[in-house]
Amino acid sequence: MSRIGKKPVTIPAGVQVRVANREISVEGKLGKLVWSHRPELTVTVDDQAGTVVVQRANDQSQSRALHGLTRSLIQNMVVGVSTGYEKRLEIHGVGYLAAVQGNVLQLRVGFANEIHKTIPAGVEVTCPDQTHVVIKGIDKQKVGQFAAEVRAVRKPEPYKGKGIHYEGEQIRRKAGKAAK
């Protein structure tokens, strides 16, 4: 039995979860998310206990693999509509900066041209200053994916640490050729 899959998802106050013919809709103060689960699993909502339970019909490999995944996705939806997700990026380097203009994130990170990244729907991007980017949203996958795409524009290099990295991320530094 999946250890993650058998744990029930607790529903916090102010969040409504509905299941109708394999479609799960989670609605909270920040918005609404809808997702369709696979037919190998059954999802039930217990309103008295305030939980969502995921069960599988059999012990086939596919069902076992999807059991914990489905529970985790439902948990992420519940957390997303109640508190939301946030990723913070830092930009290090002389002359490196970021700005938001409309629905486009502009990055100046050492290339000849500015890099323009279109901000996807459902994701909010702000720049408190020129060297920090804050990405917020209710969908964990969209927030993480956009943060990874922005970081991939100029990954931090190991010699001086220049580039875009997550706030608090440790960059493994190399000594360089002068260390011999």
The domain locations on the chain are: 9-82, 85-168
The CATH H-level (homologous superfamily) assignment of domain 85-168 is: Ribosomal protein L6 (3.90.930.12)
**Percent of the chain, pLDDT > 90?**
84
Same fold: 9-82 with 85-168 = yes
- pTM score over 0.95: no
Given a cut of 80, whether residue 1 has pLDDT beyond it is no
The CATH H-level (homologous superfamily) assignment of domain 9-82 is: Ribosomal protein L6 (3.90.930.12)
* Beta strands 104-108 and 123-129, pairing class: unpaired
- Tell me which residue has tokens 């964990």: 140
What mean pLDDT comes out for the span 136-140? Answer: 96
Q: What is the pLDDT of residues 33-73, one digit of tens each?
A: 999 999 989 999 998 899 999 999 898 989 988 999 999 99
Given a cut of 70, whether residue 2 has pLDDT beyond it is no
